[in-house]
Structure 1
Amino acid sequence: MRLRLLPAATVLAVAASLVLAACSADGSVSGASPSAQLTAEARTVTPGKLTIATAEPAYSPWVEDDDPASGKGFEAAVAYAVAEWLGFSKGDVVWTRTTFDQAIAPGPKDFDFNLQQFSITDERRQAVDFSPPYYETTQVAITVDGSPAATATTLADLKPLRVGAQTGTTSLDAVNAAIAPDGGAQVFNTNDDAKLALQNGTIDALVVDLPTAFYLVGAELDGGKIIGQLPDSAGGDQFGLVLEKGSPLTANVSAAVDALRADGTLDRLAQTWLGGEDAAPVLH
């Protein structure tokens, strides 16, 4: 998928202006109002505040305890990292809620940016602006209590088991490349069919993308459990921050996401909230 990238000169100019305006000699954020730390053409919904939207409700691990203001959860933490890079303190961030469809519909927005696992697509770009991706989905093996895969902790543990995935997906590619089950991958027409096969014991484990894994084990499967991420399985959907089409903040927010990727912040936050031992460890 092709992403619309900012010209290098634009990114550098935005970054330079923010650094000069936002930082004092010791590197701390100055006392200037947040709006003064953005480029001249940038405007926020509420002057001096940054209004960020997410889902209602918002689920773990993207937002913990449906409380984005806590900064806990991957997307809540990303939102505050972007806000800080733009020069907004935590107290200057205002949270609001929207449905998924409201956020990507054409028209004016009551938020400065919105994040709730929006995949970047060309079709959606016709109605809204996207930042560069802050996360690219990986593939994850899941199972249920009582399955032979419930005690698996390595790829070798999964190899002799019955592992399934939906046909024509990157999940199926990942099964074949990373696990290569002894009996071959078990292929299903839909994830719903595969989920039922896992629940009734026809297969021992199922591979899906990470957001689907969190949803299935949290809401759909009895005794659902994440085994872990398959290594080198990036290449799925890319999540971007959503902004109003033609937003004066798009260049600033895009520069922030690029900078947070470059300095390793996004990877660290993903490891903390999405890749830890309590979430989805990488299998070896």
Structure 2
Amino acid sequence: MARIFSRAAAVAALAAITMGLAACSSGSPAAPGGESTSGSSPDTSATTAATSEAPASSAPDATELTTTPGTLTIATGNPAYSPWVEDDKPESKQGFEAAVAYAVAEKLGFADADVSWVRTTFDEAIAPGPKAWDLNIQQFSITEEREKAVDFSSGYYTTAQAVLTYEGSPLAGATTLAQLKQGKLGAMVGTTSLNALNEQIAPATPASVFNSNADTAQALKNKQVDAIVVDLPTALYLAAVEIDGGKIIGQLADASGGDQFGFVLPKGSKLTAPVSAAVDALAADGTLAALEKQWLSESISVPVLS
């Protein structure tokens, strides 16, 4: 898909704090010429022992912690949607999540050529059990329930959930949650979008559930449902590009400040701490904000439904 998402605006940049990997060392260094720092006569045996000690390691080498040493295997969805991945080609580094993934890889010590991409479904990525990849990125909201089965990195983006319809839909004129309750709504299986739909809208007719965002969008195109719930940047993209007469009714309120998206890692992965540190560093140095501005834009005006 061509990058047309710039017509829409996105949510404010994620605020984050720096979490550096601590480097530690012990003992007092010997003075030049082998003299002791106390000014006493040099102790040859002590000096020899000190120089033979290996320096303390600041952190494990992330390039040796991956499924395939020297290669960082990153998974994403099939297909991967704009504005997260452009033209379904994460290796191009085009799109917000593709760009974030390569920025994290660089922080971990991997060159672009050392990054390998694979595809997974959303559900299998967050299911318990071993994984054939190191990281997975496809708009995974960080939740306590999911953390029982997988690890999450620090959040790299915060978003809200939005309700998307089309011109002429029975819900095209809806402005309240009460009006939405009477419609036929849909969302992707296993997502916080579906949770928000059921918990905040609580429709009179059970929600239609789809296997992917692509299937969810297609159902709206085919008018199988009156509206769908997806994350706000995806809603903005679909309304501008994919759905004829696409219209965002509004966003759902979230007392927590919005969903945080994080990388998914296998449960107990040794890469979890280094990846979180990399994400935090990218937040602190302004990289995440710059990528958000580039791919998602700076501000939005979508009403909060009540």
Q: Please tell me whether residue 48 in structure 1 is matched to residue 100 in structure 2.
A: no
* Distance in 1 between residues matched to 2:92 and 2:58, nearest whole Å: 24
2:280 is matched with: 258
- Correspondence list, 1:111-130, <5 A: 111-130=133-152
2:86 is matched with: 64
- In structure 1, the gaps of 5 or more residues are 1-7, 18-35, 151-160, 172-185
Where does structure 1 differ by over 6 angstroms across 4 or more consecutive aligned residues? 205-208, 227-230
Change (3 A) 1:268 1:101: same
| Structure with greater contact order relative to length (CA < 8 Å, sep ≥ 6) | 2
Residue of structure 2 aligned with 1:12, choices 20, 23, 27: 20
1:238 is matched with: 260
* Distance in 1 between residues matched to 2:21 and 2:228, nearest whole Å: 46
- Equivalent position amino acid for 1:257 in 2: V
- Equivalent position amino acid for 1:71 in 2: K
- Correspondence list, 1:1-284, <5 A: 11-13=19-21, 39-40=60-61, 43-138=65-160, 144=166, 163-165=175-177, 209-210=231-232, 213-214=235-236, 217=239, 221-225=243-247, 235-275=257-297, 281-282=300-301
Give RMSD over aligned pairs: 4.4
- Equivalent position amino acid for 1:267 in 2: A
% of aligned pairs identical?
58
For normalisation by structure 2, the TM-score amounts to 0.57
1:28 is matched with: none
Does the CA contact (< 8 Å) of 2:83 and 2:233 recur in 1?
Answer: no
Does the CA contact (< 8 Å) of 1:164 and 1:206 recur in 2?
Answer: no
Q: Equivalent residue of 2:117, what SS?
A: strand
Give the greater-gyration-radius structure (CA). Answer: 2
1:155 is matched with: none
Change (3 A) 1:188 1:222: farther
* Distance in 1 between residues matched to 2:105 and 2:295, nearest whole Å: 19
- In structure 2, the gaps of 5 or more residues are 1-17, 25-56, 182-194, 209-216
Per-residue deviation, residues 249-274 of structure 1 (Å, max 9, x unmatched)? 11100101111112222122122212
* Distance in 2 between residues matched to 1:141 and 1:233, nearest whole Å: 17
Per-residue deviation, residues 147-177 of structure 1 (Å, max 9, x unmatched)? 9xx9xxxxxxxxxx8524457x989xxxxxx
Does the CA contact (< 8 Å) of 1:141 and 1:227 recur in 2?
Answer: yes
Change (3 A) 1:212 1:43: same
Q: Equivalent residue of 1:77, what SS?
A: helix
For normalisation by structure 1, the TM-score amounts to 0.61
